[in-house]
Chain A
Amino acid sequence: MSAGETIIETRKLDLFYGDFRALIDVNLKIPQRQVTALIGPSGCGKSTLLRVFNRMNDLIDGVRVGGQVLIGSEDIFAPGADLLALREKVGMVFQRPNPFPLSVHENIVFGLEIHRLARRDDADEIVERSLRAVLLWDDLKDKLHQSALKLSLEQQQRLCIARLLPLKPQILLLDEPCSTLDPIATAHIEELMQELKREYTIVIVTHNMQQAARASDYTGFLYLGKLVEFAATPRIFTNPGQKLTENYISGRFG
């Protein structure tokens, strides 16, 4: 598949938390190796939608999903779908950096050990490659055996991205990855996303509309569980197709 082809597709996606319908008939095509931002006011369903893509919502009681979600050509909610394989393919980074209370090195090989259930003899090489990919190698090459918790918040967040990479994911889901970072660290993570999108498809949830405008290629606007509009980011921020989108991004509500 080349950049721009659809990698994630939802068809008539509904998601219920018990009786509450959190996503309503969402039809969306996310292009490969691009940055797609999901925006919308709190409670609009954007994080829920993000979590659908690696079935994180399965962990919550009473969640029910209707419709289809295809990644590549696989229906990830089909009976017998391989959840472990899905989470290898679709990695996730959270709002707050959450490195394991282990060394930098161990953080990166941890996923491999869990998924492959064996220690790799090329671990050092994998650690270096992963840290280079998130532009941390030069800073951390002499601190690989220090605790990850001693790193700055930005470095911790980069490490959380780096530790996904040994599993060779196709898609990185970022849920408000910069909300605990200062503006400079935020800019660094945004630059990193531009590097990473050469190899990975990135879907980011953000409250920061300027961030969506700066850092994404496509933007989806959700409101009350519905996907109101999905279009190229420059289009959304200069001349959106829907009045509702216009009102939200120009700060007239939300």
Chain B
Amino acid sequence: MAVHLQNEIEKLKKQIVLLAGTVEKKVADAVKSIDRHDSQLAQQIKDSDQFIDQAEVEVEEECLKILALHQPVAMDLRFIVAVLKINSDLERIGDEAVNIAGRSLNINAYPRIEIAFDLNTLTRNVMSMLQRSLDALVNMDATLAHAVLASDDEIDDTVQVLFQQVKDEIRRQPEKIDYLIEYMRINRHLERIADHATNIAEDIVYMIEGKIVRHNYEK
């Protein structure tokens, strides 16, 4: 019976890792589509959301099946609960990637203008955070998950800086507000992706250590 459960858990782990990989690629592509002004890529991202939605449903069904049929306990139970939650964070990250792709299409509809701010630092940091939280998932690495949690404040700072820069830019070129506001929204989408990556890291800590680190009021 135990071996049977372990097989199911291994299968589920493969499923969630595959979903994580797909989502990560999607975010990377979305960011790329802005950087390269690539409307075709952006459109592809928008059109391919169904795969992630489908995969999310399959992971959830698998979790429910294991809970019902095997009644896992302890580490196994925490694994299933964490996967359920990570699954929904991944799906939301996928949605944010689609949102970014939408912004990308909007931006590309305007003539390009020179801007005095840098989106790359934020995208790089968010991508790194997402990658590390997914690596922590693949390798069941609580230490790495803790490191991800520690880097969330840094992201928040970067978000604030960019927010201010876009605001300044809008003051300088108020006639470009429709264009510039898209960056404001991208900023917000990236921040949300970082928040979901934080959730994932928290769930990994819970899964491995059994500690709920979600509401750290001591900060």
Contacts and interface: CB of A to CB of B under 8 A. Distances in A.
A46 B210 CA distance: 27
B75 A250 contact: yes
Number of chain B interface residues as a range: 10 to 19
A237 B5 CA distance: 16
B76 interface: yes
B73 interface: yes
A239 interface: yes
A210 B1 CA distance: 14
A245 B78 CA distance: 15
Nearest to B6: A252
A238 B2 contact: no
Interface in B60-75: 71-75
Contacts of A245: 74
A237 B2 contact: no
B2 A252 contact: yes
A246 interface: yes
B74 A237 contact: yes
A229 to B, nearest CB: 11
B72 A239 contact: no
Contacts of A252: 2
B77 interface: yes
Contacts of A239: 74, 78, 210
A41 interface: no
Contacts of B2: 250-252
Contacts of B71: 210
Given A238-B210, A239-B210, A250 B78 contact: no
A238 B77 contact: yes
B159 to A, nearest CB: 34
Nearest to A209: B73
Interface in B156-212: 210
Contacts of B5: 250-251
Interface of A: 209-210, 213, 236-240, 245-246, 249-252
User: Nearest 5 pairs between A and B by C-beta?
Assistant: A251-B2, A239-B210, A237-B73, A246-B74, A249-B73
